[in-house]
Amino acid sequence: MTLNFYKYQGTGNDFVIIDNRSLLFDKSNSKNIAKLCDRRFGIGADGLILLENHPEEDFRMVYYNADGNESSMCGNGGRCITAFAKFLGVIDRTTTFEAIDGLHKAEIKNGIVRLQMQDVSHIETFENHLFLDTGSPHHVELVGNLKDFDVKNNGEAIRYGAPYNEAGSNINFVKQTSKNSFAVRTYERGVENETLSCGTGVTAVALAMHKSGKTTSKEVDLQTQGGELKIVFDVSERGDYNNIWLIGPATQVFKGEISW
């Protein structure tokens, strides 16, 4: 069987995306999904995304990590599938779609996608880090020399250590670069390595840095290994974060077919 696919990337976070409105894709075979994401034996990607029909909204996003397992929300993936939906003619400029963590609104214009993230009402503050869930769980930690920091080994140690253990967390290492700007490097669970960018990760970093007083701005610039992203948000009198938008480019890299 031949499988038609598309490859998208958002600030270096890359995805195999498949139009599965016909429901022909075998979602039960996690080994094959992992093989498609393998950079040597498959197409190569940080994850695989299916676009499916939805009874009420524009479409449904189904996301799998590179290990082949269905995962929690992927922010850059949400931006990329928005661009894919526009490419297919499923949407025009705006959309509402369903992901694993609920409904998301998005807008696309000139290759820039604005994705509304879920509200965040709880951020845990510890001595050396913060923890919050922005659709996926995220550990946020400031470090000194981010450029030369060993993200894989340090991220792996934290990801599998207490209190995260088997369930794990994504691990973000952060350096403040100006009043409202931060550099971020992320170790992603499911990929089990550093990725060039993580959408839910930069969202978590922006909120965590505001919560900890590192910035007072409600518009935060994030520099990832793969490019620049922006987070804008509102804060209620109770300190809840809402109207959160992840903003950045999403690009189709190529399309092709592979034996499945």
Q: What residues are labeled active site?
A: 74, 198
Contact at 8 Å (CB) between 103 and 166? Answer: no
Angle at 197 between CA 181 and CA 259, to 5 degrees: 165
- Strand duo 227-235 + 241-249: pairing: antiparallel
Phi (first) and psi of residue 173, to 5 degrees: -105, 135
β-bridge partners, 198: none
Task: Determine whether 147 is exposed, middle or buried from the number of CB atoms within 10 Å of its CB (0-12, 13-18, 19+).
Answer: exposed
If you ran DSSP here, which 8-state letter would residue 101 be given? Answer: T
Contact at 8 Å (CB) between 145 and 135? Answer: no
- Strand duo 47-52 + 2-10: pairing: unpaired
